[in-house]
Amino acid sequence: MNLAAIQQRRLALAARHGWFEGALSATTAAALFLLASSVFFAVLGKSPFVLLGQILTGAFGSRYGFTETLVKTTPILLCALATALPARLGLLTVGASGQFYLGAWCGTAIVLSAPAGWSVFLFLPVFALACAGGAFWALIPGFLKARLEVNETLSTLLLNYIASLLVDWVVYGSWRDPANLGWPATAPFPDAIKLPLLVDGTRLHAGLLLAVAIAVALHVVLSKSRWGLSLRILKSNRVLGEGTGLPWAANVALVMAIGGAIAGLAGILETTMIHGRLQSGIALNFGLTGFLVAWMAGQHMLRIIPLALAMGALMSASDALQLFAQLPEATATVLQAILFCSVLVSGGLLSKGRN
């Protein structure tokens, strides 16, 4: 049997048993997470069964808890998609946080500069410029990578700090609303630029549906289109791809710009729908969490959705852990790390068993 036949046979088996391996991987990861988190809680001197129950109750046990879990899931999902798309070309970026801030900064600039009474016309410009701002911030490391071979991981990491400080500079300075009595934040945004709420009386907004739609659209495009195939070829063998006429530099710019636009969308959604104004520290580690989710999902756009939900649940449950178990906020971060390691170990075990 030649190599082509072997490859076709492997692809056929993967398609036939992919769902089974996916279910087995998820089950193994869940079992590892429960075991490791139980050990962690036991070391802290707490009952694992009680705390795990409080996590589930805090994240899903009430209308408020469930909607807050979905609220946290939205920016995580968008930041994960912003990381996963460049990774489909082999780019390791950590810049979703900076693109998140630039999107929020650009959208806010439109809101604050518009004349009074124009708020009804601002919805599309605010969201369009926020996406453009995130795309611009991602194109900088994209250009440096495509033209000068600058490491995209380092450049996106450094740009995160610049974007965060840029937001701090304006909210502590010229954009600070005097009515806030010293609190570093802009004036409140008008209701006309906000998306509708999905559940009345909660913070759950239509941005969640938009994020899921983007994930599905990216999955279809990447798996069914010639562009998706060209990204796979360039990732696996750049020299071969360029030899067949596929433009590597143009694709670097394209995936970085689309990813940055998605992260910029996350930034303006969080600013308008959750905080209602631009202020310092709005990213809340969504960029880093999205990076972990993207790599846990293996850059698969649909697998990102449930993993983002799991991370959102852990972030939402951190309030319950602080309130009822008197555990610090960092406990949720440790649990996220345990979940990340569980998924990686599960994937490694299945890969070893398959080989």
236-295 per-position pLDDT tens digit: 999 988 988 899 999 999 999 999 999 999 999 999 999 999 998 888 789 888 998 998
**DSSP one-letter string for 109-138:** HHHHHSPTT-GGG-HHHHHHHHHHHHHHHH
Taking the C-alpha atoms of residue 206 and residue 215, their distance in angstroms, rounded to an integer, is 15
**Nearest-5° angle of CA 58, CA 59, CA 65?**
80
Which one, of 308, 310, 328, lies nearest residue 318 by Cα?
A: 328
- Per-residue pLDDT of 2-59, as tens digits, reads 545 655 565 555 555 556 666 677 788 888 888 888 888 888 888 888 888 888 888 8
Q: Which is nearest to 111 in space by CA: 206, 170, 188, 183?
A: 188
If you average pLDDT over residues 294-322, what whole number do you get? 86
Smallest CA-to-CA distance from 339 within 61, 41, 31 is with: 31
pLDDT in tens, 156-211: 999 999 999 999 999 999 999 888 877 889 999 988 888 999 998 899 999 999 99
- CA-nearest of 76, 144, 74, 138 to 106 is 138
Instruction: Give the pLDDT band (50/70/90) at residue 316.
Output: confident
| Mean per-residue pLDDT, 318-340 | 77
Give CA torsion, residues 255, 260, 263, 267, to 10 deg: -170
Q: Where are the beta strands (DSSP E) in 249-344?
A: none
pTM: 0.87
DSSP secondary structure string, 224-256?
A: HSHHHHHHHHHHH-HHHHHHTT--HHHHHHHHH
Alpha helices in 150-243 (DSSP H): 152-171, 207-224, 226-236, 238-243
Residue 257 tokens read as 């710009």
